[in-house]
Amino acid sequence: MKKKKHLTKSRFKLACECPTKLFYTGNSEYADHNQVDKFLKALAEGGIQVGELAKCYFPSGFDIKTPDYEQSLAETNELLNDDKVIIYEAAIQAGNLFIRSDILVKEGNKLELYEVKAKSFDLNEVNPFRNANGAIDSKWNPYLSDVAFQKHVLQLAFPDYEISAHLMLVDKNAKCPTDGLHQKFKLVKISKNKTEVKMTGTLTEEELDSPILCKVNVDKECESIFNSVEDVGSNKSMSFKERVDLFAEHYASDTKISMPISTRCHSCEFYTTDSDSESKLSGKKECWKEQLGWNDEDFNEPTVLDVLNFRKKDKMIQEGRIKMSALTKEDVNPTPDDQAGYSRTQRQWLQIEKSQNNDEEFWID
């Protein structure tokens, strides 16, 4: 029997980057160069240690450690029978949506959601999540969309509850109260791609009274995201809920959401290298073949995505001029600046010209 697929917060985040990725993720036939990278990135950013530190500010909580889907749900639901409870890694399901929340606090009919991120935050900044136009800043949008998705699932699962959402971030203005705080969180390798944090000592009263993480309510930002509309391929002006339902439906049924070629393709992780090209499929090539009618030989030529710091990439793609050979000097308009050496536009045209002349010194960014 085929295992039912649920849209999780990590899959939702992936779909926000590009909905087509839902078809490739978790599919062993396709190369995925982010599987290990994401794990290493979490370690590098200190995300695992910060997550464990956050639990210390919510003492006496219950940790749902099992990775098993059904068991994690059963354990969470049993704990939620209590009037007051704190749960780490709470498992919540609503239809074909599933989340594991970092910290969930229940008190009566109130639920407080806390998503922990190893990102600095200035409590003194006015409207920290908004840009000059009042919209949610692009640098915060992935984090806020993550929380909004979790709040959405909680609202579906507990429609009679009052639910508030928070980010838990590193307080930019806080000072570590003791010198050896970080040494109390030791990384222990469990398996090849699994590392856990083991506490080597309890936090002192001073360390608990001077937290270096801050709790930031993001209910207003979640509402802005809920009220937003976006195009998803041929589906125009979709609400947040409609997008979530679309992603969940296509992910569960293994059907592809086709998206037009754009600059986001440059960072696609579903590509093949010489070492895996024979054993794995390239999702990126598959998309381009479907959208552009390309064959394997077309991929031997550099494209507009390879031009260094070129700001007209999307414009060129929309005009159908994908290959670097289709660009002209007028597209770049190389002009000098007041700096020593080549200007940005001069370097761009030099790169394009070398490519078009099959110069061996041609480079790709």
Q: Is the separation of the CB atoms in 8 and 247 below 8 Å?
A: no
257 burial via Cβ count (<10 Å: 0-12, 13-18, 19+): buried
Q: What is the pLDDT of residues 194-209, one digit of tens each?
A: 666 666 667 766 666 6
Mean pLDDT within 333-342: 85
- Distance between CA atoms of 158 and 110, rounded to whole angstroms? 10
**Is beta strand 213-217 parallel, antiparallel or unpaired with respect to 162-171?**
antiparallel
Rounded (10°) CA dihedral 200, 206, 208, 214: -120
Longest dimension (CA), the chain: 73
Q: Which two tokens stand for residue 253?
A: 């049924």
* Whether the predicted pLDDT of 163 surpasses 50: yes
- Distance between CA atoms of 170 and 148, rounded to whole angstroms? 20
The pTM of this model reads 0.87
When mean pLDDT is compared across 20-24, 150-154, 204-208, the lowest value belongs to 204-208
For the chain, count helices (H), then strands (E).
13, 10
Boundaries of every domain in the chain: 45-227, 264-356
Q: What is the pLDDT of residues 298-319, one digit of tens each?
A: 999 999 999 989 999 999 999 9
Q: Is the separation of the CB atoms in 271 and 31 below 8 Å?
A: yes
Which residues touch 154 (CB under 8 Å, ≥6 apart)? 92, 94, 99, 101, 111, 113, 161, 163
**What is the pLDDT confidence band of residue 161, given thresholds at 50, 70 and 90?**
very high
Return the top range by mean pLDDT from 189-198, 203-212, 326-335, 341-350. 326-335
User: Between 337 and 270, whose confidence is greater?
Assistant: 270
Mean pLDDT within 327-355: 89
Mean pLDDT within 265-291: 89
* Whether the predicted pLDDT of 183 surpasses 80: no
Q: Is the separation of the CB atoms in 253 and 210 below 8 Å?
A: no
pLDDT of residue 195: 63
pLDDT of residue 337: 83
**What is the pLDDT confidence band of residue 361, given thresholds at 50, 70 and 90?**
low
pLDDT of residue 196: 63
Report how far apart the first and last C-alpha atoms of the chain are (Å, whole number).
46
User: Between 338 and 79, whose confidence is greater?
Assistant: 79
